[in-house]
Amino acid sequence: MSILSRIDDKHVPLYRVMWVAATPHFCGEEDCMREGCYEVRLEQGESIWANAADNDRLITQLELWQGGLGPPDAGDDEAAW
Ligand SMILES: [Zn+2]
């Protein structure tokens, strides 16, 4: 399984996601470009915005994700650090 999730025009590694908004953004501003989008908070205070389909997929991936940085490379063990 990939540890990257496609959000907007980016592939985001799951381990960078701090939290995902449970409700879509609404601020009442008439020209708001993010209405109906879900805020996805990344490390270092960066936020990106997912549409409903991206958000659903991201949450599914996060639930399936077992943590870590992905499958270990063959022949790579912790002693090598
Ligand atoms: Zn807004």
Task: Calculate how far, in angstroms, residue 24's C-alpha sits from the geometric centre of ligand 1.
Answer: 10
In the predicted model, is pLDDT for residue 54 greater than 70? Answer: yes
Predicted TM-score (pTM) of this structure: 0.77
Q: Considering only residues 51 and 73, tell me which one the structure prediction assigns the higher pLDDT.
A: 51
Q: What is the pLDDT averaged over residues 7-36?
A: 95
pLDDT at 67: 75
Task: Calculate how far, in angstroms, residue 37's C-alpha sits from the geometric centre of ligand 1.
Answer: 9
Task: Calculate how far, in angstroms, residue 5's C-alpha sits from the geometric centre of ligand 1.
Answer: 23
The domain locations on the chain are: 4-68
pLDDT tens column, 28-44: 999 999 999 999 999 99
pLDDT at 51: 96
Task: Calculate how far, in angstroms, residue 70's C-alpha sits from the geometric centre of ligand 1.
Answer: 34
User: Phi then psi for 28, rounded to 5 degrees?
Assistant: 85, -10
- Which CATH number is 4-68's, of 2.60.40, 2.40.50, 1.10.10, 3.40.190? 2.40.50
Which residues have CB under 8 Å from 15's CB, separation 6+? 3, 67, 68, 69
Task: Calculate how far, in angstroms, residue 75's C-alpha sits from the geometric centre of ligand 1.
Answer: 48
In the predicted model, is pLDDT for residue 50 greater than 90? Answer: yes
Task: Calculate how far, in angstroms, residue 15's C-alpha sits from the geometric centre of ligand 1.
Answer: 26
For residues 59 and 63, give the distance between their C-alpha atoms in angstroms, rounded to a whole number: 6
